[in-house]
Structure 1
Amino acid sequence: MYVLFLTDDNLIRGYKETTQEETETFKLKFILVDELPAVIRNQKQNTLLRWVDGQVIEVNSPSAVSPQDAKLAELNVACNAAILAGFTSNALGSPHTYDFDYDAQINLGGMLNAITAGIVTGAIVWKASGLPESHTVAQFKTVFADGLAHKNALIGHFWTLKAAVLAAQSTEEIDAIVW
């Protein structure tokens, strides 16, 4: 089973293999499909895809999507990819990379909730630079804060670029805006 994440206007912003139980945690607009459609598996670079009437279609006709909408969709995909790629934190005293895919974000938030509720008070073993590392509560809170700062900085960058796209007066100006 696959989940297709959608924008408000049904452009496909990403996908992943999933389970029915996992979908209960998703906060984004999505649809479930049993098999990944061939059009997604064979997607050409810079081709937009949209969910229409129960199927995925390529959106490559100039009349199908405006240059602004196409650029915003491209920037949205780039922003999501940058967020999901992970972040670096010095919480352990030196730089370590941390996963930040959807599951990792949910797990980080869940652990912070457990800490806040007093359920977890001792050492927390968390994957840092691909290896399990012991974190104090203070170190874990720093990791969480660094992850949040990472995400917020990228979302802020997206909003800045979105404003530039919306202010652009020509296709050339829109095309010049890159992630």
Structure 2
Amino acid sequence: MTYTYAASPGGECVIRSDGVCVPADPGNADYQAYLASGEVATAVPVSYYQTQQAAQLTQECNAAITGGFTSTALGPSYSYPSDPNSQGNQGCAAASPNGGMLWCALGGNWALVQHTQAQAQQVCSSFMTYLNNCQAKLVALKAQVAAATTQVDVQSVSW
């Protein structure tokens, strides 16, 4: 098995050939196996950190997308949920000639509020703008990660 050293959030670790970061803890059996192997630690390629950071950014983007957005479909800026179920409900209200009831909040007070079809369509349009902005931000951040040449630079790119 090939091992490499890397800095982890908890300090030093040994990265096994399968990509698992084993804490450099004397009480850890996997770490003891590394010490017993007599292998020389090698530098971790920046691509390892780039892969990890890109995955983290993708998770954070997905959380942002499903974490809610705002729309002025009702006049003032209301908050709307954007979990998959809410997205489906918003789409159904936008497609219905009668619109529909949608969850939204003004000043943190959530309520189920009737929306006309045009208002529901505006909610969906607001969500698409928000979604596209999140996706564009992810693309830009991943480009920064890909261009970074050190572990510190890669890990400094955050959502």
TM-score, normalised relative to structure 2: 0.66
- Contact kept in structure 1, 2:89 and 2:102, CA below 8 Å: no
- Name the % identity: 29
What SS is found at the alignment partner of 1:160?
helix
How many equivalent residue pairs? 118
Give per-residue Cα distances to partners, 1:28-80, cap 9 Å, x unaligned. Answer: xxxxxxxxxxxxxxxxx99xxxxxxxxxxx943569x8100110111011111
The aligned counterpart of 1:16 is none
Instruction: Name the CA distance, whole Å, in 2 between partners of 1:60 and 1:95.
Output: 45
Show structure 1 runs of 5+ residues with no match: 1-44, 47-57
- Cα distance 1:93–1:132, how it changes in 2: closer, same or farther (>3 A)? same
Name the structure where helix makes up a greater proportion of residues.
2
| Dislocated runs of 4+, deviation >4 Å | none
Q: Does 1:72 align with 2:54?
A: yes
- Contact kept in structure 1, 2:99 and 2:120, CA below 8 Å: no
**1:170 corresponds to which letter in structure 2?**
T
Computed over aligned residues only, the root mean square deviation of the Cα atoms, in angstroms, reads 2.5
The aligned counterpart of 1:85 is 67
Q: How is 1:27-176 mapped onto 2 (pairs within 5 angstroms)?
A: 59-61=20-22, 66-112=48-94, 115=95, 120-129=96-105, 130-176=110-156
Instruction: Name the CA distance, whole Å, in 1 between partners of 2:155 and 2:75.
Output: 41
Q: How is 1:18-33 mapped onto 2 (pairs within 5 angstroms)?
A: none
**2:136 corresponds to which letter in structure 1?**
G
What SS is found at the alignment partner of 1:66?
helix
Which one has a bigger Cα radius of gyration? Answer: 2
- Contact kept in structure 1, 2:93 and 2:117, CA below 8 Å: no
Instruction: Name the CA distance, whole Å, in 2 between partners of 1:66 and 1:138.
Output: 48
What SS is found at the alignment partner of 1:169?
coil
Deviation at 1:102, TM superposition (A): 1.7
